[in-house]
Amino acid sequence: MTHMTKPKLFMKQSIFEANTIVRLVDLLQNDNDFAKSAAARAIRNVTYRGTLDQIKFLVSQGCIKPLCDFLIRFDPNIVEDCLVGIERILMARDADKTMETTRGALELPAM
């Protein structure tokens, strides 16, 4: 799991094609605190280094609610990772709205 938190890894489309993102969201929701914090950091890296389509895929897999749920943790590093991830998702949504063409804009799920 540790190697998955390296930012450059998520620039590779093969990570998305191997359903790694689905597993990260699952870890963020259901695993122990160590795995959750590593998953939060990896998701943050996707939002920081990923393409708009990769961020859209991440959102479609349900990452927003578990990131928000994680904000009540007392570890400031984990909270920061979650906040950065959420911020980058919102920035991607705003960028997508300004570039909206025939493709749909990034839709955020209702909480």
CATH number at 64 reads: 1.25.10.10
**CB neighbour list of residue 65: distance below 8 Å, 6 or more residues apart:** 109, 111
Residue 58 lies in a domain: yes
Q: How many domains does the chain have?
A: 1
The residue type of 37 is: S
pLDDT confidence of residue 97? 79
Average pLDDT taken over every residue of the chain: 78
pLDDT band at 2 (very low <50, low <70, confident <90, very high): very low
Residue 104 lies in a domain: no
Residue 63 lies in a domain: yes
Residue 19 lies in a domain: yes
Please compute the mean of the pLDDT values over residues 66-87 and round it to a whole number: 87
85 close to 93: Cβ distance less than 8 angstroms: no
Residue 84 lies in a domain: yes
- Residue 39 is encoded by which pair of tokens? 């998953």
Instruction: State the residue range of the domain holding 72.
Output: 2-98
pLDDT confidence of residue 48? 82
pLDDT confidence of residue 38? 87
The residue among 109 and 103 whose pLDDT is bigger is 109
